[in-house]
Chain A
Amino acid sequence: SQTIHQWPATLVQPVGSPLSLECTVEGTSNPNLYWYRQAAGRGLQLLFYSVGIGQISSEVPQNLSASRPQDRQFILSSKKLLLSDSGFYLCAWSPSNTEAFFGQGTRLTVV
């Protein structure tokens, strides 16, 4: 069966520090991969999605970037964090033409 791993679960980082959140999927090949950010009590904002290695669509370019170095690995990065980057980050994967499955999320606090 397929599983998704996202880490870390919580992270506290100072303003101006770099960020790297990692997400990996097991048990499938060529998944669609997604990064979302969710502010407290708010909706899911799509940040990036990828339909294959080297194919990344950016919805909110701003201070973040994403990479897909391997078929089942999706990384969210920032060179310098801002206070406004605080939030709950969710990674998800999906086969084509069906629903997405989510990781446990990362709660990021920028101080």
Chain B
Amino acid sequence: AQTVTQSQPEMSVQEAETVTLSCTYDTSESDYYLFWYKQPPSRQMILVIRQEAYKQQNATENRFSVNFQKAAKSFSLKISDSQLGDAAMYFCAYKGGSEKLVFGKGMKLTVNP
């Protein structure tokens, strides 16, 4: 069964600094999708970034980028120029061929002014 692990339950970063959130996953599939979602206090789930496993190029969305290491089954999220609005819970997620979407336990990010 596919599993997603986020080993850091909490992190903090200074405003304008860079922070990296780690995620590892376990799968025997070769084609799959990985996602990072953000959940602010409103509890609305917001997609931050998506990575297709068949693409070697790391995905980037403005200040958000990923480091996708397929062989190591690692998928970290880098937030550059952190802003107060980035404070939230962040979830790493995996979706394979069965369309089952599995999430990690999440990580609480605090941004200090």
Contact = CB atoms under 8 A, between A and B. Distances in A.
Interface stretch (B61-69, B78-86, B99-107): B99-107
A104 interface: yes
B100 A43 contact: no
Given A92-B45, A99-B35, A99-B47, A32 B99 contact: yes
Interface in A44-90: 44, 46, 49, 51, 57, 88, 90
Say which size band chain B's interface belongs to.
20 to 34
Contacts of A57: 98, 100
B45 A102 contact: yes
Contacts of B95: 94, 97, 99-100
A44 B100 contact: no
Nearest to B52: A97
A68 B33 CA distance: 25
B75 interface: no
Contact of A43 (B47, B98, B105): B105
A49 B106 contact: no
A32 B95 CA distance: 12
Interface residues of A, number: 25
B100 A49 contact: yes
A43 B106 contact: yes
A97 B44 CA distance: 22
Nearest to A51: B99
Contacts of A94: 95, 99, 101
A36 to B, nearest CB: 8
Given A43-B106, A96-B99, 7 more contacts: A41-B89, A43-B91, A46-B102, A49-B101, A92-B45, A100-B93, A101-B47
12 contacts: A32-B99, A34-B101, A36-B103, A38-B43, A46-B103, A49-B101, A92-B45, A94-B99, A97-B33, A98-B33, A100-B95, A105-B44
Interface of B: 33, 35, 43-45, 47, 50, 89, 91, 93, 95, 98-106, 108
